[in-house]
Structure 1
Amino acid sequence: MRHFYIKQKVFSLKGKFTVKDQEENDVYYVEGSFMRIPKTYSIMNTRQEEVALITKKTFSFLPKFYVEVNGRDILTIKKEFSFLKARYTIDAAGIDVQGNWWDMEFEVYQHGELVAQVSKEWFTWGDSYKVQVINEEMETIIIALVVAIDCVKADQAAASSSASF
């Protein structure tokens, strides 16, 4: 089992942050595109090789995010039509997310077997998450999933704040 910590920089325009292990070593680097369409987030390993890519679909009635890991489409997060509260679904073959993923308190299962647990770290400056990867073969997929969910949340927050003006 490996533990990772994702802490976003609060005032970063490009959406740059790192994923650290339990010894506080940088393991992954995340960098968002700035002023580019489509909006993307690239996840790189310590050798600066891209291992995952998150892309927001540009022209869509409802927001949709695609996650690729090692060049393969792994999952899609899409907003469902709803009048009262924003609802999203995660489509991934064999992967099931259970719990409150909007509040970053959830478990990830693959074919019914627990492969990861995610929890929000409280009382921190900026968003911080603790990710426990039980099945280490799923490490990159889990990190990409957590970053993608955080991207969806940030996109929703930006849409809500611009709609209130």
Structure 2
Amino acid sequence: MKQLYIKQKVFSLNEKFSVKNQDEKDVYYVEGSFMKIPKTFSVKNDTGEEVALITKKTLSFLPKFFVEVNGKEVLAIKKGLSFFKARYTIDAAGIEVRGNWWDMNFQVYQHGEIIGEVSKEWFSWGDSYKVQVVKEEMETSMIALVVAIDCVKADEKGAASASSFTN
């Protein structure tokens, strides 16, 4: 089992952070599109090659995020219509997320077989996540999924703070 760590920099305007392995070596780099439409996050490997892309769909009634890995769409995260609490679903062929993904503590299954696990690291400055990858061929998809869920959470926080200013 491989362990990776995502540590986002707090107050980073350019939305750049890296994914490290257990030896604290950078293995992936994530870069957000600052002030661009549509909002995207690019995941690059240690040689600088883009291996995943997360895109927020614009001009949509409810927010949608699409995740591509190696040029193929592998999943979508969609917000459902709800009056009391935000509800999101993850649509992916054969991929299922079990647990509390809103708090970043969940397992990821593909066709009923566990492929990885994500847990939030407490007592750290900023958001830090430990990603355990059971199936190495799914490593990039696991990293893209964690980044996409974090994008959804950030988008929801931004929407909530914007609505509090209008009241």
User: Structure 2 length as normaliser, TM-score?
Assistant: 0.98
Structure 1 gap segments, 5+ residues each: none
- Match in the other structure for 1:73: 73
Q: Matches of 1:43 and 1:142 in 2, distance apart? A: 11
Residue 57 of structure 2 is matched in structure 1 by 57
- Structure 1 residue identity aligned to 2:2: R
Partner amino acid, structure 2, of 1:117: E
Name 1:17's counterpart in structure 2: 17
Letter in 1 for 2:137: E
Q: Deviations along 1:34-81, whole A, 9 cap, x unmatched?
A: 110000000000111100000000110000000000000000000000
* TM value normalised by structure 1: 0.99
Residue 14 of structure 1: how far off its partner (Å): 2.0
Query: After TM superposition, what 4+ stretches of structure 1 lie above 3 angstroms from structure 2?
Result: none
Q: Which amino acid aligns with 1:149?
A: I
Give the aligned CA root-mean-square deviation in angstroms: 0.4
Counterpart check, 1:114 vs 2:114: yes
Taking the aligned partners of 2:74 and 2:141, their CA distance within structure 1 comes to 8
Letter in 2 for 1:62: L
Task: Provide the identity percentage.
Answer: 73
Secondary structure of the residue aligned to 2:141 is helix
Instruction: Tell me the distance in 1 between the aligned counterparts of 2:14 and 2:66.
Output: 19
Unaligned runs of 5+ in 2: none
Which residue does 2:141 correspond to in 1? 141
- Secondary structure of the residue aligned to 2:107 is strand
SS in 2 for 1:164: helix
